[in-house]
Structure 1
Amino acid sequence: MDQLIGRRISDRYHIKRLLGSGGMAYVYLGEDMILERLVAIKILQPQFNGDEEFLQRFRRESRAATILGHRNTVNIYDVGEERELHYIVMEYVEGQTVKEMIRLHGPLPLEQAVHMTKQLLEALMQAHSHGIIHRDIKPHNLLSNERGEIKVADFGIARAASASTITQTNTMMGSVHYISPEQARGGVVSARSDIYAAGIVLFEMVTGVIPYDAESAVSIALKHIQEPLPDPAQLRQGLPQSLSNVILKAAAKSPDDRYAGAEEMYEDIRSALSDERRNEHPYFIQEGHANSKEREWSDPQVAEEDTMVAAPAVQEDGQEDVGPETPADRPPEKTKKWPYVVACIVVFSGAAFFYWLLPEMFVVSGTTKVIPDVLPTQTAVWEAAWAGQDQVLQEGAKVWRQVEL
């Protein structure tokens, strides 16, 4: 895409140089010739030009993200198209991504990691309050400027991407390390999916490594669904249990076991480095159960279509962990029915036997009894020959009446 350098888009944005590229777009440094300011211009890669459904979502979601205007989000200034180019004009943040910081310096100082996470959560609070879910929170999308401020990028474009068919390995591999279990299963995404990703990002910031890795995107996604999160306290010496608990709670498998929203996680992490909380008890989730407070959590700002019903937690052996059985959990004892079953077998066996010799009409104590819908109607021609069987039939009739009762 070097041919774009030096070009002017929409007779307003002058493209100066390439800043980077990803699976979906190229990012250029540009200049707004009208407002005389530097901007970042994200131009979609050509292969998306033929996907009209994706382009419609791209325009709609990107324009929706322009309402955020938060200090911790990369503000979107303009969305447009010119001939074959579809682009977003954004705030230019001079600095580096959190991913680059981790690659260069390893685990971040705890105070810095907490400060960055708080800024991320503030951006999520703003977005979720407007019904916007990011869906692709990762350190690659967190930009840090020279003042140490965090800016979250790609609001809106992530939702558009979720509806498109993107097969680029680098795109999937870059995002799948932070994907929530419900996203990995193809389920409905909610604000708590962003909370999960924020927990994984915090895990990487304090440990310097990602919790799940494999050779393929599918294998990594399965690990998010099936494998327990490694204890971050085991990967960083001296990590306070309180901060480890924040990570474990944010990145719980079930959305119901996570924080109710960004506000709750923000309030918890504010005091995570305090001396009073350093040695608190480890956060533990009983598989298949959440306490009453957690079950009452909800996402009031998320549309009904983004509601998630979590799948039951499963142990490693594939069996659901239902906890210790209590008297209230035990099903009521069932009445033994085998005597009635035996009686039925005897009666029907006798009926089948007599069907071949004396169809349907039986003489019992001088009266004729018809058993409806069991034997076809015929004349009792063998009546005299089988008169000695009266007593047997009477006993069978008694058993039959008891079974019917």
Structure 2
Amino acid sequence: MTTPDDPLIGRVLERRYQIDAPIARGGMSAVYVGTDLRLHRRVAVKVMDSRYVGDPQFLRRFEFEARAVAGLSHPGLVAVYDQSIDGDIAFLVMELVRGGSVRELLRERGPMPPHAVASVAIPMLGGLGTAHRAGLVHRDVKPENVLISDTGDIKVADFGLVRAVAEAGVTSASVILGTAAYLSPEQVSSTDIDARSDVYSAGVLLFELLTGRQPFSGSTQLALAYQRLSFDVPAPGDIIDGVPPQLDDIILRATERHRDDRYVDGFAMQHAILDAVDDLRLPAFTVPAPQQASDRVTAAIARPIRPQQAPPPPETRQVTGPGEPYDDEDVLDDEYGDDGYGDGYSDDDYYDEPRRSALREHRGAPDDDRIDDVMPPSRRLAALVWFLLIAAVAAGLAALGWTVGAGLA
């Protein structure tokens, strides 16, 4: 987590995304609650660690992966809205999930019963399968990257970040990327990675959900990673009672050391779990969000916002055509909702009348109380001359008409 003195709080990135409050920090990035000032909605803003910002290889891969994930649509994936670089900040704008991670739920409640594990696995594997069919590989499937919303939705986050970091010039070629406990054997021994690597990691994750522990241990992260090259993941039913054989078989197949023996992708593993749910008649279940994490996100959303002073506006372009109004698509005329992000959040908190007036002035549009004083002096003089000329002509015509009328009489 960041400190209250975090310099990013209140900053507006790309003149659109305001950083409001911190949520969490990891090794590669920090996540904040933010506000999209254009669409008036809450978002999550992931800010990458500063050591990557100056690396052109990372930035190219970061942009490519973000675009690829933004093109995916599945309820089991955290939606990606935007990606950009603002000065020394590389960031990703995503759907804000009010809730927490599967890791936090494990800490609060311990191992899950089979029906709860199935309720996590089915949407998670659907999201992974959607990405796999699009040619994407997550590379870091773990409980921290599987989120649970307050309404029980399961969503996979952080697609593509590991690959972007892997191609960064600041990353040593000898470093094993990903989280050691969930790596597939081929991630440890080579760089030849495909969808079946995510299947292995998903199998390890489900093993942990059922048993409350990881299948391997080691004195160091490197030793832990190399365990999977020599040993198989055990059946969860050998560790804890009550695991149906069907789930044992699914996890054993998903975690085969030779990837040709695994499910080909997330969808294939999902279908196996759906068949097991039908065979076992497991009840439908809504997975609860971890309470502490949910409270933390709610508190971050409700935290008072400290907007920074906006930078000086660029010079306003001059209008060349007579009477042509200044126009800018960024002027926010319509009122939008906040998509349900944050109790008490209101558009009026950000766009009250003083701010609207300032925005109009910034865009070059006059305020209502100054609108009738916009004619330059030269045009006033020309108008006066025309008025006097027209008045003289009218008087002459009136006199001529009077004379003609008198003669006829």
Q: How many Å separate the matches in 1 of 2:92 and 2:100?
A: 20
- 2:178 & 2:148 partners in 1: Cα distance? 19
Give 1:213's match in structure 2, choosing from 212, 217, 225.
Answer: 217
Separation (CA, whole Å) in 2 of partners of 1:125 and 1:174: 19
* Residue number among 75, 78, 88 corresponding to 1:74 in the alignment: 78
Q: Output the TM-score relative to the length of structure 2.
A: 0.64
1:312-336: per-residue Cα shift (whole Å, max 9, x none)?
xxxxxxxxxxxxxxxxxxxxxxxxx
Alignment of 1:13 with 2:17, yes or no, is yes
Q: What's the offset of the Cα at 1:130?
A: 1.0
- Look at both structures and tell me which one has the larger radius of gyration over its CA atoms: 1
Tell me which amino acid in the other structure corresponds to 1:221: A
Q: Decide whether aligned partners of structure 1 residues 36 and 262 sit closer, same or farther in structure 2, where only a CA change above 3 A counts.
A: same
Say which SS state the counterpart of residue 4 (structure 1) adopts: coil
Deviations along 1:36-90, one digit per CA (max 9) or x if unpaired, are: 1110001111111232211211111111111002111111100001110110000
> Partner of 2:28 in structure 1?
24
Give the structure 1 partner of residue 150 of structure 2.
146
> Equivalent pairs: percent with the same residue?
38
* Equivalent residue, structure 2, for 1:60: 64
Bigger Cα displacement from structure 2, 239-248 vs 208-217: 208-217
Aligned-partner SS, 1:215: coil
Q: 2:95 aligns with which of 68, 91, 94?
A: 91
Q: Which secondary structure state, in structure 1, belongs to the residue aligned with residue 7 of structure 2? A: helix
Structure 2 contact 77–127 (Cα < 8 Å) conserved? yes
Distance 2:139 2:9 in 1: 31
Matched positions, count: 275
Q: Partner of 1:112: helix, strand, or coil?
A: helix
Q: Name the SS for the 2:103 alignment partner.
A: helix
Contact 1:70–1:126 (8 Å) recurs in 2: yes
Task: Tell me which amino acid in the other structure corresponds to 2:131.
Answer: A
User: Is residue 231 of structure 1 aligned with residue 235 of structure 2?
Assistant: yes
Q: Which runs of 5+ in 1 are unaligned?
A: 279-405
1:259 pairs with 2:263: yes
2:110 is equivalent to residue 106 of structure 1: yes
Find the aligned partners of 2:119 and 2:27 in 1 and give their Cα distance: 29
C-alpha contact (below 8 Å) 2:139/2:178 kept by paired residues: no
Q: Aligned AA for 2:84?
A: G
Please say if residues 240 and 273 of structure 1, whose CA atoms lie closer than 8 Å, have aligned partners that are also in contact. no
Pick from 144, 159, 164 the counterpart of residue 160 of structure 1.
164
Alignment of 1:197-208 (within 5 A): 197-208=201-212
Aligned CA distance change for structure 1 residues 274 and 68 (closer, same or farther; 3 Å): closer
1:144–1:166: structure 2 CA closer, same or farther, 3 Å change rule? farther
Judging by fraction of residues, say which structure has more helix.
Answer: 2
> d(CA) in 1 for partners of 2:185 and 2:35?
41
| Residue type at the aligned position of 1:79 | Q
Residue in 2 that maps onto 1:240: 244
Residue from 195, 200, 205 that aligns with 1:191:
195
Per-residue deviation, 1:187: 3.2
The answer to whether the Cα contact below 8 Å between 2:47 and 2:92 also exists between their aligned partners in 1 is yes
Deviations 1:219-246 (A, max 9, x none): 0111021112122112111111111111
- Alignment check: 8 A CA contact 1:43 1:86 kept: yes
2:131 paired with 1:115: no
Q: Distance in 1 between matches of 2:265 and 2:91?
A: 32
Q: Contact (CA 8 Å) 1:72, 1:120: kept in 2 or not?
A: yes
Q: Answer whether contact 1:172 1:217 (CA < 8 A) is retained.
A: no
**Which amino acid in structure 2 is aligned with residue 60 of structure 1?**
F
Counterpart CA distance in 1 for 2:83 and 2:279 is 48
Residue 202 of structure 1 contacts residue 247 of structure 1 at CA under 8 Å; is this kept in 2? yes
> Match of 1:272, as an amino acid?
A
1:40 maps to what in 2?
44
Q: Describe how 1:302-317 pairs up with structure 2 within 5 A.
A: none
Uncovered stretches (5+) of structure 2, i.e. residues with no partner: 283-409
Determine if contact 2:72/2:130 at 8 Å carries over to the other structure: yes
When residues 31 and 172 of structure 1 are mapped into structure 2, their CA distance, relative to the original with a 3 A threshold, is farther
C-alpha contact (below 8 Å) 2:17/2:35 kept by paired residues: yes
Larger relative contact order (Cα-Cα within 8 Å, sequence gap ≥ 6): 2
| Higher alpha-carbon deviation: 36-45 or 211-220 | 211-220
Return the alpha-carbon distance in structure 1 between the equivalents of residues 159 and 109 of structure 2.
27
